Structure 1
Amino acid sequence: MVDLPAPGHRVVVRYLLPSGQATDALGILLSADAATVVVHGVRGVERIAVGDIIAAKEVPPPPEPRVRRTTS
């Protein structure tokens, strides 16, 4: 089992695609069990088989959006 925080935390999960290439899922951890990790990110809900995971960790919240400056 991958060492992940409790559901509700922001995580990044690197896993292998069927082609053998690696990709990342970045978002909120919805659930994790012995078979599947579920992350809700920009691409929607991703269900990742634990056997395909290379690495996973908790990450800090995204930075606040910058305020746009207007010229007068």
Structure 2
Amino acid sequence: MSPPLPVPQQFLSDAPLGTRVVVRYRIGGGLTDALGELVGKSDGGCTVRTRRADVVIALELVVAAKEVPPAPPRRAPRPAVS
């Protein structure tokens, strides 16, 4: 039997697809965050759909992860000033 996963990795493994999450993970030279919908999971990683792209994150690089509330509705564009 394999040892239990650290808390952030366990959260990502257990969270249902479609959950809005923020994931902090290591990159060369520091840390970064991915904020979006959890759209994929595998034994070694997860995929978060951000506003810009799908981000594939290796679980071994994750240092923190949690569920976040839905995004607020986008504002309507301001009218042009004449």
TM-score, structure 1 normalization: 0.81
Q: Deviations over 1:43-70 (max 9, x none)?
A: 2011000111011111000112345687
Structure 1 vs Structure 2 CA RMSD: 1.7
Task: Tell me which of the two structures has the higher relative contact order, counting C-alpha pairs closer than 8 angstroms and 6 or more residues apart.
Answer: 1
In structure 1, what is the Cα distance between the partners aligned to 2:16 and 2:56?
16
Equivalenced residues, count = 69
In structure 2, what is the Cα distance between the partners aligned to 1:6 and 1:68?
34
Structure 1 stretches of 4+ moved >6 Å: none
Identity over the aligned pairs, expressed in percent?
42
In structure 2, what is the Cα distance between the partners aligned to 1:58 and 1:44?
19
Unpaired stretches in structure 2, ≥5 consecutive residues: none
TM-score, structure 2 normalization: 0.72
Greater strand percent: which structure?
A: 1
Greater helix percent: which structure?
A: 2
Unpaired stretches in structure 1, ≥5 consecutive residues: none
